[in-house]
Amino acid sequence: MPKSKLPGIQKLLIANRGEIAVRIIRTAREMGIATVAVYSEADARSMHVQLADESFLIGASEPSASYLNMDALLRVAEETGAQAIHPGYGFLSERSEFSQACREAGIAFVGPPPEAMRKLGAKIESKQLAVTAGVPITPGFFESNASDDQLKAAAQHIGYPVMLKASAGGGGRGMRAVASEDEFDSALRLARDEAVKAFGDGAMMVEKLVEQPRHIEVQFLADSHGNVACLFERECSLQRRHQKLVEEAPSPVLNRNSELWEPLQAAVKSLVTQAGYVGAGTAEFIYNQTTQDFYFLEVNARLQVEHPVTESIVGLDLVEWQLRIAAGEKLDLADGLIRGDRNAIHGHAIEIRIIAEDPAQGFMPSIGKILAWAEPKGIGVRVDTGFESGSEISRFYDSMLAKLIVHAETREKAIHKLQSALMDFHILGVKTNIAYMADVIAHPGFIDGQFDTGFLGREFSEWKVSDQIPAELWEIAQVPLGSVSEENRLGSRELTGAWALSDGFRIYSEK
């Protein structure tokens, strides 16, 4: 391996798994940084374990016994001499106590300092900081330790409909829309119970519900020398039950109304500076299409799942910059990127999350062994994954299998490229959402850029999967992976004929 480009970081521990761990390992390798993977019992044969320079078992399959075990992670880092830990996203990535523990152990945490994480980690505190920084927020009630009566009185004052949110929430958990006072008590009870189970914290807040909003977020980098760069925005409005499924950059909204960008960028820089933030992060906003107002939601103090679309339009490796900032370097970007000049945007990028779930059965998670995997390739097509043929999909972790990212000169060309790429993405052995997503991006509303966060719920509530599955793939799906010779798996026309045909089919799983 070549000499590290960062003298202060010769070896990096990745405190994560799957796609993001693979993503980080590959950038570290390009930078000449040795990598240490950690894994649970369920992940012993995973791709990130095979790719890293060193790999260490840290516990049982349950996240609490492995990827959430701070003591085990720090012990491996110290034993291997890793100078830095990259948390990826999820797990411990936004835990200020983990950032603090790394500092106390003399290990660089590839993320923001614990002080900034504490200021931005809970929705209530981050809303209060946003007010101080002059960032617009949705009208609401954001008091710590608010009682049920206070929350209900606030809802009446704000006016229904309102949204109940867990202060420590994320991923749509601990959230309930409330249309009237009659629904409030039961909705609050359900939201709080969900928040306690998911985050161990039942603190709630209430805010005005913006109807048919768009979800737009701004990617930023901030170094320890006071420099902040806003690397434009991502549109994340296509969601199912508050879970993002399609992300694109730039947003169709700001493409049509570019004058909205400067005040949005200024608000983000003010908030980041006020928080003392260092590293990569994302400021999320709700956009009211009627009033053309942006309202601050939260800061995700980590790398986002959808970061590749930003990388595509600005030509940067965000993981590389995370590492460089953690090593104390200054932002050394093109002037247009530092200033947020929209002329520095190159083309359009779209990402789709490929998930192991069965849309025909209420999106029930699908587990098991991947029998065959064929992903699309081509100029402007990127697949980020931690899985391959033979990989086991476990019940213990997130069900995302891969991210399909395309980049083209225009949004129209990117959509065409994405449609073609989805036709060439085939996974057998587990159910996936590929058929569902192919229909989503073919919808006129998506193609015209006219959608909001409720779009999928309205337009695809009655969606059904096509049952027209080519016979070749049905036969492949019946062949146990272990009973097929390596020669046949890789080369037999009989077993790979479905991939060789140019008949325009889409196939995602056996029946």
Residue 386 dihedral angles phi and psi, to the nearest 5°: -120, 20
Spatial separation of the C-alpha atoms in residues 106 and 338, rounded to whole Å: 31
**Per residue, what are the HEC states of 138-170?**
CCEECCCCCCHHHHHHHHHHHCCCEEEEEEEEE
Spatial separation of the C-alpha atoms in residues 236 and 241, rounded to whole Å: 13
- Determine which one of 23, 173, 302, 324 is catalytic: 302
Q: Residue 506 has which token pair?
A: 């889409």
What spatial distance separates the first Cα and last Cα of the chain, rounded to whole Å? 46
Say if CB 364 and CB 357 are below 8 A apart.
Answer: yes
Q: Residue 73's closest CA among 25, 64, 115? A: 64
Q: Residue 189 has which token pair?
A: 């009870």
- Quick one: DSSP state of residue 24? H
Say if CB 253 and CB 287 are below 8 A apart.
Answer: yes
CA of 386: how far to CAs of 41, 42, 48, 392, 401, in Å?
16, 14, 7, 11, 7
Is 214 one of the annotated active-site residues of the chain?
Answer: no
Strand, coil or helix: 402: strand
Spatial separation of the C-alpha atoms in residues 247 and 237, rounded to whole Å: 8
Angle of CA points 454, 458, 463, to nearest 5°:
125
Instruction: Name residues whose C-beta falls within 8 Å of residue 36's C-beta, 6 or more positions apart in sequence.
Output: 11, 12, 13, 14, 52, 53, 54, 55, 56, 76, 77, 80, 82
Active site residues: 302
